[in-house]
Amino acid sequence: RCLAGASRWNVFLPLTVKAFGPAWVIKGQVAPGEVLTAAHAMAVEVDWAE
């Protein structure tokens, strides 16, 4: 961004943000009313920006 000079101007650049980190996800289908246990979940790395 330039505010000085005879004409002011801005520059906009397209970008994609990727922020990876740990998350817990369910391995598969879970029936309604079923109690979740550690066997149902696993830790994975996901893109938090999506």
Tell me the pLDDT tens digit for each residue of 2-19. 888 888 899 999 999 899
Q: What is the pLDDT of residue 19?
A: 95
Give Cβ neighbours of residue 45 (< 8 Å, ≥ 6 apart): 20, 21, 22, 23
> What is the mean pLDDT of the segment spanning 36-45?
96
Average pLDDT of the chain?
93
Q: How far apart are CA 39 and CA 21, in angstroms?
A: 21
User: Is 0.75 surpassed by the pTM of this model?
Assistant: no
Answer whether residue 1 shows pLDDT above 90.
Answer: no
User: Do 24 and 45 meet the contact criterion of CB atoms below 8 Å apart?
Assistant: no
User: Do 46 and 21 meet the contact criterion of CB atoms below 8 Å apart?
Assistant: yes
Q: What is the pLDDT of residue 4?
A: 84
